[in-house]
Amino acid sequence: MEVFIIILMLLVLIGVSNVVYRFVPFIPVPLIQIVLGASLVVVPLGIHLHLEPELFFILFIAPLLYNDGKHTPRDELWRLRAPILLLAVGLVFITVCVVGYSVHWLIPSIPLAAAFGLAAILSPTDAVAVGSLAGRIHLPRSLKRLLEGEALMNDASGLVAFKFAIAAAVTGVFSLPKASFSFLVISIGGLLVGAIVAFLIVGLRHLLRRAGLEDETMHMLLQILTPFLLYLIAEELGVSGILAAVAGGLVHAIENERMPFTMPNLKSVSNPTWSVILFVLNGLVFVLLGLQIPDVSRTILSDPAFDNFKVIGYAVLIYAMLLVLRFVWTFLFSRGGRWFGNKSNEVPSLRILTLTAISGVRGAVTLAGAFSIPLLLQNGDPFPQRDLIIFLASSVILLSLLTASIALPLLAKKKSTTDDAEKERLEREWQIEVMAAAVRALQKTSNEENEMAVSTVISDYKLMMQQLGQKDNKTKRLPRSRQEEAGMRLLALSIERKYVNDRLESGQVSREQANYYLNMLEQIELILANKLDLGKVIIKTLWRRLKMIVFVRQPSVVSGISEPDMIALRTLKMQCSQAVVDEFSERCSLKSDEATEGVLEYYRQMLDRLRRFTIGSRRKDRSFDECRRELHWIAVQAERDAVQAFFEKGDITRDMATLLRRVIRNREASLYELEEIV
């Protein structure tokens, strides 16, 4: 039961980390998850979870690398094969030699073989950490592919070097020819075993389909089991389970390309399932990393035998050596050209080389390897400076994450254009892209029952896209300040609310009509509210409802509305809109600004729509209206998902994502308002 509660708490922390990230987007999610994981140990809850290296590799690293192999473009991997191998193999062994000797020289109490082991486990970059950071930072595309390819391959070379170094430290015996031969066998064998087992699994799935077993759930289960089978079989045969998982992912990528033709429904099940699995595994990796760091740090920092400042200085020096070595290695070999897959001999810029050096983030693979160091030597003596080695490894992980989180956004930041016309063009292009995603989502939901409603909503979107695409489009841009825009919209809603309350007191509208209208205004406020003023809006809404219950003693929400009441509400909406137009026109005559003009234009358009509306134009088919309303919300959600996807892939900046979300919120509020009144 205790283990279940701990796992449940870890899953909750993953969700909390993403909520926190929304409020502090300048801090990467991995760092937030590490801090939250560490807080579980620091707070006296009695939570301690031992990191079992073998279980960690099979449970987390195998499926994550399998997925990376499945989604990494094979043509780009082949195009970048030379720099990937130079980083994944050459740099690893150079790091082992240079950093190993340096650590032994700095800290003589760490034997040379153990120092080589520390350098080996620090040499591989972490695919999970690289992916988590690169997804939110606008790195050049070739550099992202290079880092992904390196992270796929260098785990094996680093872990093999670590294995032989620790074996030499434990037994006191080391043979370079034997180690070199074993490295080739383990690496090539892992790739071959992974490819063969993956082909066998693909063949099994084909046989099952031919036998008539085309149940998507069963085939999805086979997909989930595949990375674990690949890793276990390879490790049992004495080769690299990590490379087997990567090779298996590459093989299954070929099958995925044919999946839409052989099992079209499986892809719609597979993608969201893997999305949830990867979200949980990625989060758990960093939360578990955070769980280990406090105990590791406490062991060294509370030990009087160690000078805390000197130990921290060792960690900083080791990380600085790793950075310099990575920069020099890439600098030397980039002189030969074609480093980033360019057919020309163009030499990468200093900025690209610096990005490559800083992007070598260490992660949980390094810490898991450090924890696998045995407690005792072969003769029964304690392993020399085991706690110090684990502390140095964890410190380098934190330093690499912090440095990358701070430096990469600054170095990778795109130059922003100051031309207003260019900004407006980009805004419109991305609005069209987001709307196109909504249209695609609507097309996927189309069937015989809702075909007409889908066609209607798609037509609305295509009309908006056509208007945005026109060169002489007169659509007003959103004001640049979120606070000004939110303030003006809320002011307009308060004018409407005051107008309705005045008419209620004078008896010109009924209590039911006023309650319906006021409830609609509250919903619009909630839709328009951003994360900065959402809490304020909710508190105000609750206070208004409490006053309604206490003083009026009538329900504030009407369950249904008749056609005569709806006609009266449309008239009331026209009167409220006119009141807002009058108030804002007076404001513009005194002092005009983007926010005021934008709200004024919105209410003028609302008045125009309501005046053109005729009583007989309301559809009698309630099911059609309900279907269309549901499709509108599906489209709005698809727009939000598209914005998030574009942002995570680095296609748009944070400012552009914020602006697009504001456009979606405004459109959602407008849709809600029209559907409630019209």
| pLDDT one-digit tens code per residue, 528-542 | 665 445 445 455 555
Angle between helices 264-301 and 308-334 (to 10 degrees): 140
The span from the CA of 289 to the CA of 129, in Å, is 11
Q: Are residues 93 and 223 in the same domain?
A: yes
pLDDT of residue 545: 52
Domain boundary among 618, 635, 660: 618
pLDDT tens sequence across 214-229: 777 888 888 899 999 9
Of 39-53, 335-349, 500-514, 552-566, which has the strongest mean pLDDT?
500-514
Find out whether 529 and 486 touch, Cβ atoms under 8 Å. yes
- DSSP element (H, E) containing 23: helix 2-23
- If asked whether residues 92 and 214 sit together in one domain, one would say yes
Q: Which residues of 204-225 are buried (b: 16+ CB within 10 A; e: fewer)?
A: ebeeeeeeeeeebeebeeebee
Residue 382: beta bridge partners?
376
Please state, in angstroms and as integers, the Cα–Cα distance from residue 307 to each residue in 109, 293, 396, 565, following that order. 14, 19, 18, 79
Two tokens at 502?
């005045």
Tens of pLDDT, residue by residue over 450-498, are: 788 888 888 888 888 887 776 555 555 544 445 566 678 778 888 888 8
Which class for 541: exposed (0-12), middle (13-18), buried (19 or more C-beta within 10 A)?
Answer: middle
The model's pLDDT over 455-467, given as tens digits with 9 standing for 90+, comes to 888 888 888 888 7
Q: Output the DSSP codes for 372-401.
A: TS-SB-TTSPBPTTHHHHHHHHHHHHHHHH
Q: Which residues of 422-448 are buried (b: 16+ CB within 10 A; e: fewer)?
A: ebeebbbebbbbbbbbbbebbeeeeee
Contacts of 508 (CB under 8 A, 6+ apart): none
Banded model confidence at residue 620, pLDDT cuts 50, 70, 90: very low
The gap between the terminal CA atoms of the chain, to the nearest Å, is 55
Question: What pLDDT, on a 0 to 100 scale, did the predictor assign at position 139?
Answer: 62
Query: Residue 509 pLDDT more than 60?
Result: yes
pLDDT at 138 over 70: no
Q: Please say whether the beta carbons of 92 and 123 come within 8 A.
A: yes
Q: What is the DSSP letter of 172?
A: S
Longest dimension (CA), the chain: 97
Among residues 357, 384, 411, the one where a domain terminates is 411
Q: Is residue 451, in this structure, part of any structural domain at all?
A: no
Q: Which among 286, 339, 368 has a CA at the least distance from the CA of 21?
A: 286
Band (pLDDT 50/70/90 cuts) for residue 678 is low
Q: What is the 3-state secondary structure (H, E, C) of 636-676?
A: HHHHHHHHHHHHHCCCCCHHHHHHHHHHHHHHHHHHHHHHH
Characterise 212 by phi-psi region: left (phi > 0), alpha (psi -120 to 50), beta (else): left
Range of the domain at 593: 483-618
Name the nearest CA neighbour of 149 among 328, 359, 291: 359
CATH code for the domain in which residue 217 is found: 1.20.1530.20
Q: In this structure, are 396 and 543 located in the same domain?
A: no
Which alpha helices (DSSP H) does 445-510 contain, by range? Answer: 451-469, 482-505
Cα(82)–Cα(74) distance, integer angstroms: 14
d(CA 260, CA 201): 18
Residue 249 sits in the same domain as residue 336: yes
pLDDT tens for 277-333 read: 888 988 888 888 888 888 888 888 888 888 888 999 999 999 999 999 988 888 887
Residue 422 has pLDDT above 80, yes or no: no
Token output for 376:
């005792």
Same domain, 254 and 381: yes
| CA torsion angle 193 197 202 205 (round to 10) | 180
**Of the residues 411, 436, 467, which one is the last residue of a structural domain?**
411
Alpha-carbon distance 385 to 387, whole Å? 6
Higher-confidence residue of 233 and 272: namely: 233
Q: What average pLDDT does the chain have?
A: 78
> Is residue 531 left, alpha or beta, with left meaning phi > 0 and alpha meaning psi from -120 to 50?
alpha
- What is the model's pLDDT at position 134? 55
Q: 234-279, pLDDT tens digit by residue?
A: 999 988 888 899 889 888 887 766 655 456 567 667 778 888 888 8
Position 234 scores a pLDDT of 93
60: Cα within 13 Å, side-chain hemisphere: 26
551 is a domain residue: yes
The two structure tokens encoding residue 500 = 């309705």
* The predicted structure's pLDDT at residue 257: 63
The pLDDT > 70 percentage for the chain reads 80
Is 361 a member of any domain? yes
Residue 84 CA to residue 73 CA, distance in Å, equals: 14
Cα 23 to Cα 505: distance, rounded to the nearest angstrom = 42
Top pLDDT among 629 and 481 is at 629
Phi, psi angle pair for 383, to nearest 5° = -65, 125
The rounded distance, in Å, linking the Cα atoms of 438 and 588 is 35
- Dihedral of CA atoms 467, 472, 475, 479 in degrees, nearest 10, equals 130
297 and 173 share one domain: yes
User: Distance between alpha carbon 481 and the CA centroid of its chain, in Å?
Assistant: 26
Measured CA angle at 401 (ends 399, 404), to 5 deg:
105
- The answer to whether position 437 is within a domain reads no
pLDDT of residue 106: 92
76 within some domain: yes
Instruction: For residues 90 and 212, state if they share a domain.
Output: yes
* Mean pLDDT of the region 157-172: 83
> pLDDT, tens digit, for every residue of 16-65?
988 887 777 777 788 888 899 888 888 776 677 777 778 888 888 888 88
Residue type, 399: L
User: Are 57 and 141 in the same domain?
Assistant: yes
Same domain, 398 and 508: no
Which amino acid, residue 525?
E
- Nearest of 282, 196, 194 to residue 243 by alpha carbon: 194
Q: Tell me the three state secondary structure of residue 148.
A: helix
Domain count, the chain: 2
Q: With contact defined as beta carbons under 8 Å apart, do 360 and 396 qualify?
A: no
pLDDT reported for residue 135: 54
Residue 303 lies in a domain: yes
Are 134 and 215 in the same domain? yes
**What local confidence, expressed as pLDDT, does residue 212 receive?**
77
Residue 136's pLDDT band (cuts 50, 70, 90): low
* CB of 383 closer than 8 Å to CB of 376: yes
Tokens of 552: 């009026």
**Residue 260 one-letter amino acid:** P
Residue 618 contacts by C-beta under 8 Å, 6 or more apart in sequence? Answer: 563, 566, 678
**280-284, 436-440, 600-604: the lowest-pLDDT one:** 600-604
Contacts of 161 (CB under 8 A, 6+ apart): 92, 93, 96, 116, 120, 123, 183
Determine the Cα–Cα distance for residues 17 and 388; give it in Å rounded to an integer: 30
Q: What is the pLDDT at residue 500? A: 87
622 or 662, greater pLDDT = 662
| pLDDT of residue 547 exceeding 60 | no
234 Cβ neighbours under 8 A, 6+ residues apart: 189, 190, 193, 194, 197, 240, 241, 243, 244, 245
Q: How far is CA 395 from the centre of its chain?
A: 25
pLDDT score, position 421: 73
Q: Which two tokens stand for residue 70?
A: 């499945």
Q: Rounded to the nearest 5°, which phi and psi values hold at 144?
A: -60, -45
Helix, strand, coil fractions of the chain, as percent rounded to 5: 80, 0, 20
608: in domain: yes
3-state secondary structure of 70: helix
Q: pLDDT tens, 372-414?
A: 888 888 888 888 888 899 899 989 988 998 888 888 777 766 5
- Same domain as 534, residue 399: no
Instruction: Mean pLDDT check: name the lowest of 517-521, 565-569, 589-593.
Output: 589-593
Judgement on whether residues 98 and 235 belong to the same structural domain of the protein = yes
662 in a domain, yes or no? no
Distances (CA, A) of 518 to 117, 220, 589, 671: 69, 48, 29, 17
